[in-house]
């Protein structure tokens, strides 16, 4: 007897038994008891309670990771453009002087021609909602504050009229795809965190507190290692480093400044 026939016979008997049960008066009167309903509600409450933290983690981490992915993609695009066109190419970053739409959460690519004129050659890229670049001292957005700013042609909505400085922080690639500016490799990094930066440069949101790393895995702060600090810091922000010689950007486990 074939396997298909046996399966058909089984489902036939199952359907016949179901129809008989449905036709019986006892089955028509059967209903859920109060105890059964309470048990179902209790199970639903437990499952919901377990799902909420997982949902929050799933929505926050992709935001940061999405910001990292955007930066890595723009960096590679700018580097390739500099090599293919053999011209200086810049990635620019509006800081806290910019309007809320652009402030510490946007970047764009500019190219400079033989006459020195700079033209934006890409759209503005924005980090995901609720994600921004940190104002770390050793980073592209803070190195020397206004020392590594330069003027780039922008639309009127990038800076308010009251802005003290309308220059943009920048990362420059040469025709070899290497980093031409900034010269100090200690500043070739950016930090992405969950939060925002106000017009005074102050950060708000899910911020890293060094005190949180006082006891990591039960270890006292005096015995805490750089690995421990990185483990805690990575829960709050991501770090991207740019190689001065290759021009390539890569994600790395962050170390608190």
| Within-domain flag for 83 | yes
Q: Is 234 exposed, middle or buried (0-12, 13-18, 19+ CB in 10 A)?
A: middle
Residue 147 covered by a domain:
yes
Which CATH number is 158's domain given?
3.55.40.10
Mean pLDDT of 176-192: 92
Is pLDDT above 60 for 211?
Answer: no
Residues 191, 194, 199, CA angle at the centre, nearest 5°? 80
Residue range 141-163, pLDDT digits in tens? 876 566 678 999 999 999 998 88
Three-class DSSP labels, 53-107: HHHHHHHHHHHHHHHHHHHHHHHHHHHHHHHHHCCCEEEEECCCCCCCCCCCCEE
Q: Are 190 and 171 in contact (CB under 8 A)?
A: no
Task: Give the number of domains in the chain.
Answer: 1
* pLDDT value of residue 53: 57
- pLDDT value at residue 54: 52
- Would residue 123 count as lying in a domain? yes
| Residue 98's pLDDT band (cuts 50, 70, 90) | very high
Please give the pLDDT value at position 77.
Answer: 96
Question: Which pair of structure tokens corresponds to residue 216?
Answer: 């990591």
List CB contacts of 61: < 8 A, sequence separation 6 or more. Answer: none
Is residue 22 domain-resident?
no
pLDDT level of residue 137 (50, 70, 90 thresholds): confident
pLDDT tens column, 22-80: 444 554 556 667 777 888 888 888 777 766 655 454 444 578 999 999 999 999 999 99
Is 166 a domain residue? Answer: yes
Q: Is residue 137 part of a domain?
A: yes
Which has the closest alpha carbon to 256: 219, 237, 133? 237
42 within some domain: no
Higher pLDDT, 215 or 196: 196
Please report, in angstroms and rounded to a whole number, the separation of the first and last CA atoms in the chain. Answer: 74
**Residue 216: pLDDT over 80:** no
Percent residues over pLDDT 90 in the chain:
46
CA distance 135 to 224: 25
d(CA 257, CA 246): 25
Domain of residue 87 covers 60-196+236-252
Q: CA 134 to CA 207: how far, in whole Å?
A: 10
- How far is it, in rounded angstroms, from Cα 200 to Cα 34? 59
The helix or strand, by DSSP H or E, that contains position 194, with its residue range, turns out to be strand 189-197
pLDDT exceeds cutoff 60 at 207: yes
């Amino acid at each position: 007897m074939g396997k298909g026939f046996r399966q058909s016979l089984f489902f036939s008997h199952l359907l016949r038994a179901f129809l008989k049960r449905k036709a019986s008066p006892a089955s028509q009167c059967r209903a859920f008891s109060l105890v059964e309903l309470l048990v179902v509600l209790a199970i639903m409450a437990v499952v919901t309670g377990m799902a909420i933290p997982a949902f929050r983690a799933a929505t926050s981490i992709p935001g940061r990771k999405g910001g990292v992915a955007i930066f890595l993609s723009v960096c590679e695009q700018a580097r390739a453009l500099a090599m293919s066109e053999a011209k200086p190419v810049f990635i620019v970053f509006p800081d806290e002087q910019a309007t809320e739409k652009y402030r510490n959460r946007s970047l764009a690519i500019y190219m400079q021609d033989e006459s020195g004129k700079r033209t934006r050659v890409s759209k503005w890229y924005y980090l995901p909602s609720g994600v921004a670049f940190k104002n770390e001292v050793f980073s592209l957005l803070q190195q020397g504050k206004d020392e590594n700013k330069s003027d780039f042609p922008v639309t009127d909505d990038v800076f308010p009229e009251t802005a003290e400085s309308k220059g943009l922080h920048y990362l420059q690639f040469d025709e070899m795809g290497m980093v031409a500016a900034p010269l100090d490799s200690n500043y070739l990094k950016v930090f992405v965190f969950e939060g925002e930066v106000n017009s005074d440069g102050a950060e708000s949101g899910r911020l890293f507190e060094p005190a949180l790393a006082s006891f990591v895995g039960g270890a006292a702060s005096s015995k805490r290692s750089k690995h421990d600090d990185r483990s805690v810091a990575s829960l709050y922000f991501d770090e991207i480093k740019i190689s001065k010689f290759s021009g390539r950007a890569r994600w790395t486990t962050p170390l608190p400044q």
